[in-house]
Chains A and B, each alone.
Chain A
Amino acid sequence: MNHLLSIEDLDRAAIERIVTQAARFAEVSDREIKKVPALRGRMVLNLFYEASTRTRSSFELAAKRLSADVVNFAVNGSSVEKGESLKDTVLTLSAHKPDAIVLRTPWAGAAELVSRWCSAAIVNAGDGKHEHPTQALLDVYTLRERLGGIDGASIWIVGDVAHSRVARSNIIAFQRMGAHVTVAGPPTLIPRGIDALGCEVRYTLDDLGSADVVYALRMQRERMSETWVPSLREYAAWYQINGRRLHPRQVLMHPGPVNRGVELAGEVVDSPQALIAEQVQAGVVVRMAVLYELLAGVHVPRPVPEPQLA
């Protein structure tokens, strides 16, 4: 594996290999000294075009636990604000010879594009509304730890599917691991044609009881430039996961940060069914496994692909 650009590129065996490696690293996290020398002397560059606290710090922690050097490049206050293009920023930063670049941008396909411009391993930490593969991997890991596996499980992804890269990566990853996926949400937030990914589509939570796993998505108020639902109040009335809707045998997941009282009621966030804290913990070990998979044992510089238009 040269890059982690999308879940689409990973078959079941690759996903299993990464989560199995993550389980080994989980043991490291319980030690007094939470560090292994696997990537000593390697450099990981975090390049974030969007605000992110948890994903960025999770990658930073993962790299440091593998003894890699980490450079964080935030776009705010940088040359990007002076009009530098993505390509020029990447070419400039590549002069420092990073071994891996962790990239988050608001644009679909940006990670793949960058992978053609430099020799570093590219990890897609979110490209627009397209994909967020490490989130999907950590969700698979979390479910495997809790349920032992998700073959045959029914997973409902609930909420704003249209604006969610997490939804897209998880629809693919969960199905690849043998689960049956249903997406549910207001019709304005379920993209036309999403069923082509193999999932079922529902517009109510009437049959939510059939789910083994309820995966609630964040209502991304900050990204909504227009009215997609009449009000958050009405959204909550129809789609909020609360104690009444969540069955005790179900587990609950959420990519964070949670809007309490919108997509999730406080009582379920604090319930033992919620795996939200486990997801955050899984984030570090899964990202360790991803960096390890991409960098460990790879010492020869990768060939830089021929530059080509777009």
Chain B
Amino acid sequence: MAAHPLIHGPSTPAELLLADVHVLDSRAGIDARHDVLVRDGHIAELGEPGAIEGPEGIETVEGRGRHLLPAFVDPHVHLRTPGQEHKEDLETGTRAAAAGGFGAVIAMPNTDPVIDSAPLLRSLRDAAAREARVPVGFLAAITRGLAGEDMTEMAELREQGALGFTDDGRSVSSAGTLRKALQYQRLCGGVISLHEEDPTLSHGGSMCEGSVSAALGIAGIPTVSESTMVARDAELAMYESARVHFQHLSCAASVQALAHARSAGARVSAEVTPHHLLLTDESVRGLDTRMKMNPPLAGESDRQALIAGLREGTIDCVATDHAPHAREEKEVPFEQAPMGTTGLETAFAALYTGLVLTGELPLGLLVQRMTAGAALFGLTTPTIATGEPANLTLVDLDAEYLAGERGWESRSENCCFAGRRLHGRVLLTLAAGAVVYRERVFSVVAA
């Protein structure tokens, strides 16, 4: 691959002493209080609390009682550029990522125009080199215009830095077309990332099929719309020895199909979103359009299966599927509203509150699952160790607040967790060696 896969705007290498922070990076085997010295954007030294003397003039961040984690990696975001900048752009989207503690994100190609040719990808990467606060990687489309018919020039797109391919927002409904892309992957590499939905089963649906959709009179999307496609495409992947990633799994049957494929040796991986881990179709009862997303929120047994799948490792990682939409687009009747919720700014706190504090997932494992997306797409996993570039997130686990009470960094505000009481606030994010986010502190200083 010719081009560097992750790209970000101009930044200044950080010089910081993080004093007496609780460093937690289970992969690196660290779970203890340390001083962490960052010099020239790299972790220069890890020492006992109080052991490191900050060099002259260096900023010291008092970290007592705070946790320092490897910065999260989100393999699934929508930055809406080009063409839908009224929802989000590279700058606002990566600002939201930074505020959520993410040190890298992977953007989807279902923009307007679709990222299905090398010149488009090149110009998008050029824009990211000016505007992105956090390093961004890009997936390109599998089929031209996401039409599900003709393959894109996948090899050239790979040369221009595409991390992989997806028709996200749609499935590749023709098995024959997908099979060709999987075969072609042997030439060009890159992960084939799949949004699974059988349009003949989901069509016309606005929420998950079940007792809630029946009561509301809203056309339902059956969970088999996703799970049958996961099963089909896992078989195709196995047959072609291809590397496939399943996006935003939403139901128990999909987790089962995935587990079956894994045990049979398929090279498959999968992600799950915070909203599918924490909410069910009961949240749709009030017809709040922030609860409308694709795949839709399913039932409680599905949610439990997703949590178990993430805990046991059948599901590899958390992805937000951050999908911003403008206020006027969401402020319409439920069936008319576009699908999607924002998620970058609430992911960690929502999962910490909803899964860690409830005892369903250890904090260390949550952090692993929130960083595991990197390796799946061939990126370096953020690690807290001497000599590593500083990809760090400082959080205050005790902070308690209402999601969105200070507004959002994202251009859009369609967050399904808005108004919920959350624990865990991101105070500081370092990505690729630079400070990309600091909690806004409003304090009046006497003149």
Chain A nearest CB, measured from B159 CB (Å): 42
Stretch of B94-102, B121-129, B208-216 lying at the A interface: B208-216
| A193–B217 touching, CB < 8 Å | no
Which B residue sits closest to A194, measured CB to CB? Answer: B214
Closest residue of chain A to B418 (Cβ to Cβ) is A309
Interface residue from B209, B217, B222 paired with A165 (Cβ < 8 Å): B217
CA distance A106 to B335 in the complex (A): 9
Judge if A95 is at the interface, Cβ distance under 8 Å. no
Contact, CB under 8 Å: A107 / B335: yes
CB pair B337 A196 closer than 8 Å: no
- A36: chain B residues within 8 A (beta carbon): none
- Is B314 interfacial (CB-CB < 8 Å)? no
Once the chains are docked, how many angstroms separate the CA of A150 from the CA of B284? 32
Taking CB atoms, residues of chain B closer than 8 Å to A130 are 216-218
Q: Report Cα–Cα, A55/B336, bound state, in Å.
A: 24
Return the chain A residue nearest B334 by Cβ. Answer: A109
Report if B245 contacts A (CB, 8 A). Answer: no
Contact residues in A for B217 (Cβ distance below 8 Å) = 108, 128-131, 164-165, 168
- Whether B327 is near chain A, meaning CB under 8 Å from some CB there, is yes
Do B287 and A109 have beta carbons less than 8 Å apart?
A: yes
Which range holds the interface residue count of chain A?
Answer: 20 to 34
Give the residues in chain B near A109, CB-CB below 8 Å.
216, 287, 333-334
On whether the beta carbons of B212 and A310 are closer than 8 Å, the reply is no
Residues 94 to 137 of chain A near chain B (Cβ within 8 Å): 105-110, 112-113, 127-131
B220 engages A107 (CB within 8 Å): no
Q: Give chain B residues whose Cβ lies under 8 Å from the Cβ of A191.
A: 209, 213-214, 220
Q: Is A220 an interface residue (CB 8 A)?
A: no
Contact B331 A110 (CB under 8 A): no
Q: Is A40 an interface residue (CB 8 A)?
A: no
Q: Are A310 and B290 CB-contacts (below 8 A) given A108-B334, A128-B335?
A: yes
Is the beta-carbon distance between B327 and A107 smaller than 8 angstroms? no
CB contacts (< 8 Å) of B216 on chain A: these are 108-109, 130
> Which of B222, B332, B337, B414 gathers most chain A CB within 10 Å?
B332
CB < 8 Å neighbour of A129 from B218, B290, B414, B418: B218
Partner of B336, one of A107, A168, A195, A225: A107
Query: CB distance A108 to B210 under 8 Å?
Result: no
> Do residues A168 and B330 form an inter-chain contact, with CB atoms below 8 A?
no
Count of B residues near A, CB < 8 Å?
Answer: 31
Partner of B210, one of A85, A127, A193: A193
How far is B38's CA from A200's CA once the two chains are assembled, in angstroms?
67
Tell me how far the C-beta of A44 lies from the nearest C-beta in chain B, rounded to whole angstroms: 22
Residues of A within 8 A of B25 (CB): none
Contact A107 B334 (CB under 8 A): yes
Interface residue? A299 (CB, 8 A)? no
* Interface: A249 (CB within 8 A): no
- Whether B333 contacts A309 by the Cβ 8 Å rule is no
Chain B residue at smallest Cβ distance from A197: B215
A191: nearest chain-B partner, CB-CB: B214
Residue of A nearest to B328 (CB): A85
In the complex, B289 has a CB within 8 A of chain A: yes
Residue B413 lies at the interface, judged by CB distance under 8 Å to chain A: yes
Contact of B214 among A86, A113, A197 (CB under 8 A): A197
Q: Is B288 an interface residue (CB 8 A)?
A: yes
A33 to nearest B CB, angstroms?
40
The reply to whether A196 and B215 form a contact with Cβ atoms under 8 Å apart is: yes
Asked if A82 is at the interface (CB within 8 A of a chain B CB), the reply is no
CA distance A309 to B218 in the complex (A): 21
**Min distance, Cβ B36 to any Cβ of chain A, angstroms:** 39
Q: B288's contact among A107, A129, A194, A310, by CB below 8 Å, is which?
A: A310
Contact of B333 among A108, A129, A196 (CB under 8 A): A108
22 residue pairs of the A-B complex, CB under 8 angstroms, read A106-B335, A107-B333, A108-B216, A108-B335, A129-B218, A130-B217, A130-B218, A131-B217, A164-B217, A165-B217, A168-B215, A192-B210, A192-B214, A192-B222, A193-B210, A193-B215, A194-B211, A196-B211, A309-B290, A309-B331, A309-B418, A310-B330
Chain B residues proximal to chain A, CB less than 8 Å: 204, 209-220, 222, 287-290, 327-328, 330-337, 413-414, 418
**B-binding residues in A (CB < 8 A):** 85-87, 105-110, 112-113, 127-131, 164-165, 168, 191-197, 225, 309-310
Told that A105-B333, A130-B218, A310-B331 touch, could you supply 8 new A-B pairs with CB distance under 8 A?
Answer: A108-B287, A109-B287, A109-B333, A191-B209, A191-B214, A192-B209, A310-B290, A310-B332
